[in-house]
Structure 1
């Protein structure tokens, strides 16, 4: 990540912020954060600035194309060339498969699918301005989930959106190959965020994992950094499952 600029969507907290900090430790010098929570954005920005990097933030509703593009362009205007995009924004409600409403579906689709799509398009339009084959022009990493590959009756709408993001990743990878933009996804199993602890499913996950424990956020962030960094020169259209032996795909 040495001397690179990265935009992280959903970067004001959770896995997104953990990834941002890890990228800084690997040499990233410019971090753009896009999130809907302005207060968390400012707190996260100060945390990163204390680490000695340049930070730009933009609040956005990424489910709306105009808002998503405006936020990416605003961050890019401040930071210059963006080398990588990480799509970490998602909502994770839990509801029985027989209780999901139209409103539930609309919200999941709006953030997890449409939001990811809009941010990818914004990044591609920016990155295409820097095409210089055979060098890699840019890298996009989408955060999917192991739920995309297994039955999930307690969260079927979330799982369906993550399966859609896997599909989007492959389509974008093929479309963007000519411009040397690498597009991949990382699919974590559950890991020890505050939200996961609150929902209480980590002990069950730990028992089902071959390693007998849930991951820490930084263990997932390591893989995101790898796929977003200059060390990735060939992988595109791939989905990397990181589950500690919880699922084999």
Structure 2
């Protein structure tokens, strides 16, 4: 990540912030954060600045094209060329398949699918300005989930959106190959976030994992950093499942 500029959507907390910190430790010099929570965004930016990097932020509703693109462009105007985009923003509700309302479907689709799509479009429009074959013009990494491949109770709408993002990743990879933009996704199993601990499924996941434990966020972030970094020069359209042997795809 040396001398790279990266935008992380959903970077104010959770895996997004962990990934930002890890990128800084790998040499990233400019970090852009886009999130809907202004206070958490401010706190995350201050944390990263204390590590000695330049940080730009934007509060944005990524479910709408105009606001999502405005947020990306606002950050890019401050940081200059963006080498990588990480889409880490998502909502994770829990509800029986018989009880999901239209409004809940719409919200899940708006953030997890449309939001990811809008940010990818903004990134491609920016990155294609820097096409200089055979050099890579940019990299996009979407955070998906093993839930796209393995059913679990009470999260059908979440799982469906993550399966859609896997498909979007492949479509963008194919269309953007001519512009030397690499598009991939990383699909974690559940890992030890505060939200996962609150929901209480980590012990069950640990038992089902071949390694006998849930992952730490930093272990998932390593794979995101790898796919977003200059070490990735050839992989595109791939979905990397990181599950500790919980699922084999």
Q: What is the match of residue 216 of structure 2?
A: 216
Cα drift, residue 150 of structure 1: 1.0
Cα drift, residue 153 of structure 1: 3.2
C-alpha separation in 1, matches of 2:242 and 2:95: 24
Q: What is the match of residue 170 of structure 1?
A: 170
Q: What is the match of residue 56 of structure 1?
A: 56
Q: Which has the larger displacement, 27-36 or 146-155?
A: 146-155
Matched, 1:193 2:193: yes
- TM-score, normalised relative to structure 2: 1.00
C-alpha separation in 1, matches of 2:66 and 2:196: 32
C-alpha separation in 2, matches of 1:64 and 1:126: 18
Report SS of the residue matched to 1:187: strand
Q: What is the match of residue 235 of structure 1?
A: 235
Q: What is the match of residue 154 of structure 2?
A: 154
C-alpha separation in 1, matches of 2:136 and 2:165: 22
Cα drift, residue 154 of structure 1: 1.3
C-alpha separation in 1, matches of 2:227 and 2:97: 33
C-alpha separation in 1, matches of 2:4 and 2:83: 6
Matched, 1:8 2:11: no
What is the aligned-residue RMSD (CA, Å)? Answer: 0.4
Q: Which has the larger displacement, 93-102 or 17-26?
A: 93-102
Q: Which has the larger displacement, 216-225 or 145-154?
A: 145-154
- What are the superposed Cα offsets for residues 162-193 of structure 1, whole Å, 9 maximum, x if unpaired? 00000000000000000000000000000000
C-alpha separation in 2, matches of 1:225 and 1:238: 15
Q: Unaligned stretches of 5+ in structure 1? A: none
Q: Unaligned stretches of 5+ in structure 2? A: none
C-alpha separation in 2, matches of 1:214 and 1:103: 32
Cα drift, residue 152 of structure 1: 2.4
- TM-score, normalised relative to structure 1: 1.00
Q: What is the match of residue 34 of structure 1?
A: 34
C-alpha separation in 2, matches of 1:49 and 1:152: 39
